[in-house]
Amino acid sequence: MEEQRSSKIDREYWTLTAWARGWSGFLLDPVSRLLARLGVQPNVLSMIGFFASCAAGAVVAAGHISHGGWLFLLSGPFDALDGSLARTAGLETRFGAFLDSFIDRYSEAAVLFGLLCWSTFHGRHTLVVLTFLTLAGSLMVSYARARAEGLNISCKVGLFTRLERFLVLALTLLTEQLVIGLGVLAFLTNFTALQRMFHVYRQSLHQ
């Protein structure tokens, strides 16, 4: 009964991530089957995506904002394919699932750190604040879910989950509209973290 209630509340908030998950099998499974036949390991894809994000952060810090955006965008397919490959090839492990989430946080932080460095070097104080708020909000969105699930509360709700953040950050870098993009990210990541806090509060009342 509690699981049904949790599932119902989770579905109250539509997210792009949830929509993309519904299409992921159709789009990713053929590529995953090919990679499985080639003997590619899911964790290798995770690490490639991570290194691409780190490279993006370094390029952004050097002042090549849009080029960093392309590198960050390039990391996305690897992030999507590692989980799909693990499922398709029967290579799912608890450590692999942990590593995927673990690397995702560092990948996002690497790009935001690049922005923080560039903003600091160029005296863009507004961008420094917005980048910090974005980083804090992004980490709290992930932490809220992890902590809630540690309490046996499903917590996938929220407006700005991983895919939304990835796309907006990539678009921000590609267009170099840093104040607008980071302003959106700073507000909506923290708003999502608060959504999850409220969700856990409501769920805890039924336990």
pLDDT tens-digit map of 104-144: 899 999 999 999 999 999 999 999 999 999 999 999 999 99
Residues 6+ apart with CB under 8 A from 157: 9, 10, 12, 13, 195, 196, 199
Highest mean pLDDT: which of 94-98, 103-107, 146-150, 185-189? 185-189
* Listed ranges 37-46, 59-68, 156-165; the one with the highest mean pLDDT: 59-68
pLDDT band for 202, please (50, 70, 90 cuts).
very high
The tokens 């810090």 sit on which residue? 61
Cα gap 172→165, rounded to integer Å: 10
Q: Which residues fall within 8 angstroms of residue 52, CB to CB, at 6 or more apart?
A: 71, 72, 74, 75, 78
Sequence letter at residue 188: L
Predicted local distance difference test score (pLDDT) of residue 17: 65
Confidence of residue 6 (pLDDT cuts 50, 70, 90): very low
DSSP 15-49: -HHHHHHHHHHHHHHHHHHHHHHTT--HHHHHHHH
Domain boundaries, the chain: 2-204
Q: Match 């499903």 to its residue by tokens.
A: 154
pLDDT at 197 over 90: yes
Structural contact between residues 118 and 61, judged by C-beta atoms closer than 8 angstroms: yes
Q: What angle do CA 18, 164, 104 make, to 5 degrees?
A: 90
Q: What is the mean pLDDT of the chain?
A: 86
Task: Name every residue whose Cβ is closer than 8 Å to that of residue 132 and which is 6 or more positions away in sequence.
Answer: 116
Q: Two tokens at 109?
A: 């932080």
- pLDDT at residue 153 is higher than 80: yes
Within 10 angstroms of residue 183's Cβ, the number of other Cβ atoms is 17
Mean pLDDT calculated for residue range 29-36: 77
76 three-state secondary structure: helix
Cα–Cα distance, 16 to 106 (Å, whole number): 22
Q: What is the mean pLDDT of residues 173-202?
A: 96
Question: Average pLDDT of 81-103?
Answer: 82
Nearest CA to 47 out of 75, 85, 28 is that of 75
**What homologous superfamily does CATH list for 2-204?**
CDP-alcohol phosphotransferase transmembrane (TM) domain (1.20.120.1760)
pLDDT reading at 10 higher than 50: no
* Total count of residues recorded for the chain: 207
pLDDT at res. 191: 96
pLDDT of residue 25: 59
The residue that leads in pLDDT, 33 or 139, is 139
